[in-house]
Amino acid sequence: MSTVVCIGNEMRGDDGAGPVVAARLRAHGIHALVEAPANLIHLFDGLDDVVVVEAVQSGAPPETIRRIDLETQRQSLPGASTHLLGLADSVELARTLGRLPLRLRVIGIERQEFGHGTTLSPAVDDAIERVVDGLASRH
């Protein structure tokens, strides 16, 4: 079974997508963590299968869901982040230190708004529901 780790800041609009996914998964009885990207390096150590969920900004239309399997796809992760140490940096540092899990998948939800506030845009809220439904069906 996968460990689900969600990243985001609930006080920055759509950047709160990760924590909202975690809360909705918990409502389904599925264990999901909320962590800062810098904590991933320690969290990854000893885990075999991890799914990371985060709001991303890649220029795709809002509510686009990007699924990246870092085991089979060596594509780069979206780099824009509201965190001091973003997901892409944390993954590369974990790779360098030999701490990546055996299987690491990233689900990126394209964000629309990331100003101050706790309100999600409707497009991102719809994408969150699709991500939660997909993850819940696998657990």
pLDDT, tens digit (0-9, with 9 covering 90-100), for 90-126: 888 888 899 989 999 999 999 887 778 888 999 999 9
Q: How high is the pLDDT of residue 34?
A: 96
The one-character DSSP state at 8 is -
Q: How many domains does the chain have?
A: 1
Q: How far apart are CA 64 and CA 3, in angstroms?
A: 23
Note down the domain range covering 23. Answer: 3-138
Q: How far apart are CA 81 and CA 100, in angstroms?
A: 20
**CATH number of the domain where residue 34 is located:** 3.40.50.1450
Q: How far is CA 25 from CA 58, 88, 108, 118, in A?
A: 25, 24, 16, 19
3-class SS at 136? helix
3-class SS at 92? helix
- Phi and psi angles of residue 54, each rounded to the nearest 5 degrees, phi first: -155, 150
Handedness of CA 41, 50, 2, 30 (dihedral sign): positive
Residue with tokens 């599925």: 30
Beta bridge partners of 83: none
pTM of the predicted structure, to 2 decimals: 0.87
Inter-residue contact 60 to 108 (CB < 8 Å):
no
pLDDT, tens digit, 9 for 90 and up, residues 38-95? 899 999 988 999 999 999 888 899 889 999 887 665 555 554 444 456 788 888 888 8
Higher pLDDT, 72 or 30: 30
